[in-house]
């Protein structure tokens, strides 16, 4: 695949499925007399780590001398009963720059995307965020009303929020008092209308975020004003 002057995402063959297949074959062909086929941890073949690293080292970022461009590798690992301490998950985790752990229990509970924030981690962290997002995201861990915060996360495959919309959503969901007068089932509807109302009536908010990359006092004052106005309109609509 050519990666010149473009960006590509590479999803390699499922590492866990490949490892299980190799494991099954190994248990058949490996015998005590076969010195070249020695099992390692959890009876997996000894070269599993090498195979995984070969797949993932294909990710690259080319410099200007090579025409620029990048390829990002996204390995997907299936866990057994959610056990991330097993050989294959830890193998891949040790190679990559972090992991997003999707939980079946959270998915069935209606929390989508069903990301387990306790296990998920990024080695890149906040260095990839603008100052405005860093400031807003700090408040997430201070809130105990997880059910309401969960409702602020878009679950539609076609809905992608811009940075300013993410800031509006997180700020509204994590600051005490703004959503307390709403039922949990009303939160998503309110946030959609809030983002639309803000973009239409206070376009300067988006301009501030994009131009300064920070959540300034002016931006916060505009947002507070719009939240109050939209909440009054929303409650009147719901009562009508």
Kindly report, residue by residue over 165-186, the tens digit of the pLDDT: 989 988 888 887 788 888 888 8
pLDDT attached to residue 40: 67
pLDDT of 9 over the 50 cut: yes
Cβ-in-10-Å burial (0-12, 13-18, 19+) of 129 comes to middle
pTM greater than 0.85 (yes/no):
no
Q: How confident is the model at residue 125 (pLDDT cuts 50, 70, 90)?
A: low
Which CATH number, 1.20.150.20, 1.10.1740.10, 1.10.260.30, 3.90.1150.10, labels domain 128-240?
A: 1.20.150.20
Average pLDDT taken over every residue of the chain: 78
Phi, psi (degrees; rounded to nearest 5) at 164? -65, -35
Q: What is the mean pLDDT of residues 8-14?
A: 60
Active site (catalytic) residues: 123
pLDDT of 98 over the 60 cut: yes
pLDDT of 44 over the 90 cut: no
* Helix (H), strand (E), coil (C) string for the chain: CCCCCCEEEECCCCHHHHHHHHHHHHHHHCCCCCCCCCECHHHCECCHHHHHHHHHCCCEECCHHHCCCEEEECCCCCCCCCCCCCHHHHHHHHHCCEECCECHHHHHCCCCCCECCCCCEECCHHHHCCHHHHHHHCCHHHCCCHHHHHHCCCCCCCCCCCHHHHHHHHHHHHCCCCCCCCCHHHHHHHHHHHHHHHHHHCHHHHHHHHHHCCCCHHHHHHHHHHHHHHHHHHHHHHHC
Q: What is the mean pLDDT of residues 105-123?
A: 80
**In the Cβ-directed half-sphere of 189, how many Cα atoms lie within 13 Å?**
11
Going from N- to C-terminal start, the domains of the chain cover: 128-240
Least confident of 22-26, 54-58, 183-187: 22-26
User: Pick the residue with more confidence: 144 or 107?
Assistant: 107
Q: How confident is the model at residue 3 (pLDDT cuts 50, 70, 90)?
A: very low
């Amino acid at each position: 695949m050519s990666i010149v002057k473009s960006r590509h995402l590479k999803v390699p063959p499922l590492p866990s499925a490949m490892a299980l297949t190799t494991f099954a074959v190994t248990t058949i062909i490996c015998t005590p007399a076969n010195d070249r086929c020695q099992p390692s941890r959890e009876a997996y073949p000894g070269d599993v780590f090498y195979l995984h690293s070969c797949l993932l080292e294909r990710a690259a970022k080319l410099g200007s001398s090579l025409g620029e461009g990048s390829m990002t590798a996204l390995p997907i690992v299936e866990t057994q009963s959610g056990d991330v301490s097993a050989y294959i998950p830890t193998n891949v985790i040790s190679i990559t720059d972090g992991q997003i752990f999707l939980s079946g229990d959270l998915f069935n509970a209606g929390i989508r995307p069903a990301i387990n924030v306790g296990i998920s981690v990024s080695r890149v962290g906040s260095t990839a965020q603008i100052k405005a997002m860093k400031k807003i995201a700090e408040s997430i861990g201070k809130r105990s009303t997880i059910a309401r915060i969960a409702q602020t996360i878009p679950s539609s495959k076609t809905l992608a929020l811009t940075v300013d919309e993410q800031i509006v959503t997180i700020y509204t969901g994590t600051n005490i008092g703004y959503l307390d007068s709403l039922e949990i089932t009303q939160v998503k509807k309110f946030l959609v209308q809030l983002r639309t109302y803000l973009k239409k009536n206070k376009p300067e908010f988006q301009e501030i975020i994009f131009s300064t990359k920070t959540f300034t006092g002016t931006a916060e004052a505009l947002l507070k004003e719009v939240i109050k106005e939209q909440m009054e309109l929303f409650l009147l609509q719901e009562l009508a």
